[in-house]
Amino acid sequence: MRLGVPKEIKDHEYRVGLTPGSVRELAADGHELLVQAGAGAEIGFSDEDYRAAGATIAGSAEDVFAMAEMIVKVKEPQPTECRRLRPGQLIFTYLHLAPDPEQARLLMESGCTAIAYETVTDRQGRLPLLAPMSEIAGRMAIQVGATALHKSAGGSGVLLGGVPGVLPGKVLVIGGGVVGANAARMAMGLGADVVIADRSMPRLAQLDDQFGPRLKTVYASADALDRLVADADLVIGAVLVVGAAAPKLVSRGQLGRMRRGSVLVDVAIDQGGCFETSHATTHSDPTYVVDGIVHYCVANMPGAVARTSTQALNHATLPFVQALAGKGWRRALAEDGHLRDGLNVHDGRITHPAVAEALGHPFHDPQALLGV
């Protein structure tokens, strides 16, 4: 198969769909690799590195999209990229379609087959292609939140770790999944007073066993969240409903009970955000203030540490890329129900139930499309 890797064009997005190491593996499998010039240059992967690994360097994104049978990206295709897709072409990337009806419409109109990293599952019901970026985003959430608390950044001037004689800052993490656990780990490492709230008692028990008494765990009832949000210096939104829009768990009214200069970091912003006052921001302009509360809602947080993120993502995605390229997407999806869970759009139809529900489109069962 001929695989294409375009340069990412989202604001300050320096990750790349395939590393030279992944290209080498795929070339050894007998596939053709077409990589846009400069696709990995910002994170130390030169065009010569890609040539040495077995790729051909394309001069433009138009060439990559025109010639490739399968596009491998990182972030959701932007409108200009969607318009370059064609019937029968496969794209494998993060999509996050639930809060993005325009992207969904363009993908459907293109006639392409779109498989989303974030809805591929494994035998334990986990999300193996979302997990590495969730780990990074969770850890970054504390870094960016701590910086946003600086007075120079509009924050309240609280040092999360405190100092002798001064209490540490209070961090509330809403959601105990991969993002939440990594955020809690980082916050505790800084010495903050950390509470993690979730609605799964088994998950809270796991977190209690994992971190011990340094981490406080709370069942995420509306009453508990109301009290905890009001008391927090930094709130991390880390909730996820697979394929669907994130629930709104903090209302604008609750902001009025927080200390001025407190910070919200919405890691769920890719799925629409879990705070009522959230809207997507960029690395160029990452924060804004509502009712005195600083909001950080960058939709591609791991892009800030693009070299680490690209390597971690490729470790997870490469086996799936190999399966899709080696078997063809129909056979690969027919043989692997977990990879089939990643199919979001095919031939103008929505093929993931949560995405269809969020967008108000009919759901088309991928098993019926594949005849399995």
What would the pLDDT profile of 265-305 be if each residue is shown by its tens digit?
999 998 899 999 999 999 999 999 999 999 999 988 999 99
Is 341 known to be catalytic? no
Q: What are phi and psi of 110, to 5 degrees?
A: -70, -25
pLDDT at 18: 98
Q: What are phi and psi of 252, to 5 degrees?
A: -65, -35
Based on C-alpha coordinates, what's the Rg of the chain? 21
Where does the pLDDT of residue 201 fall: very low under 50, low under 70, confident under 90, or very high at 90 and above?
very high
Number of Cα atoms under 13 Å in the Cβ half of residue 68: 29
The 10s digit of each residue's pLDDT in 327-355 is 999 999 999 999 999 999 999 999 999 99
89 pLDDT higher than 80: yes
pLDDT at 242: 80
pLDDT at 176: 97
Residue with tokens 């930094």: 234
- If you average pLDDT over every residue of the chain, what do you get? 96
372 pLDDT higher than 80: no
Q: Active-site residue among 31, 49, 96, 193?
A: 96
Using CA atoms, how far apart are residues 51 and 56, in angstroms rounded to an integer? 6
34 pLDDT higher than 80: yes
Using alpha carbons only, give the angle 344, 318, 8 rounded to the nearest 5 degrees. 65
Share of the chain above pLDDT 70, in %: 100
CA 305 distance to own-chain centroid: 13
Q: 338: which residues sit within 8 A by CB, 6+ positions away?
A: 120, 121, 122, 123
Is 122 known to be catalytic? no
The 10s digit of each residue's pLDDT in 208-227 is 999 999 999 999 999 999 99
Using CA atoms, how far apart are residues 312 and 286, in angstroms rounded to an integer? 24
Share of the chain above pLDDT 90, in %: 94
Where does the pLDDT of residue 11 fall: very low under 50, low under 70, confident under 90, or very high at 90 and above?
confident
Out of 48-52, 174-178, 366-370, pick the least confident.
Answer: 366-370
369 pLDDT higher than 90: no
Where does the pLDDT of residue 100 fall: very low under 50, low under 70, confident under 90, or very high at 90 and above?
very high
Using CA atoms, how far apart are residues 1 and 264, in angstroms rounded to an integer? 44
Whole-prediction pTM value?
0.89
Determine the average pLDDT of the residues in 309-313.
Answer: 97
pLDDT at 182: 98
Where does the pLDDT of residue 315 fall: very low under 50, low under 70, confident under 90, or very high at 90 and above?
very high
The 10s digit of each residue's pLDDT in 171-190 is 999 999 999 999 999 999 99
pLDDT at 243: 75
Q: Active-site residue among 270, 341, 346, 352?
A: 270
Q: CB atoms < 10 A from the CB of 3, how many?
A: 27
Q: What is the DSSP string of 71-139?
A: EE-SSPPPHHHHTT--TT-EEEE----TT-HHHHHHHHHHT-EEEEGGG---TTS--TTTHHHHHHHHH
Where does the pLDDT of residue 241 fall: very low under 50, low under 70, confident under 90, or very high at 90 and above?
confident
Determine the average pLDDT of the residues in 67-78.
Answer: 97
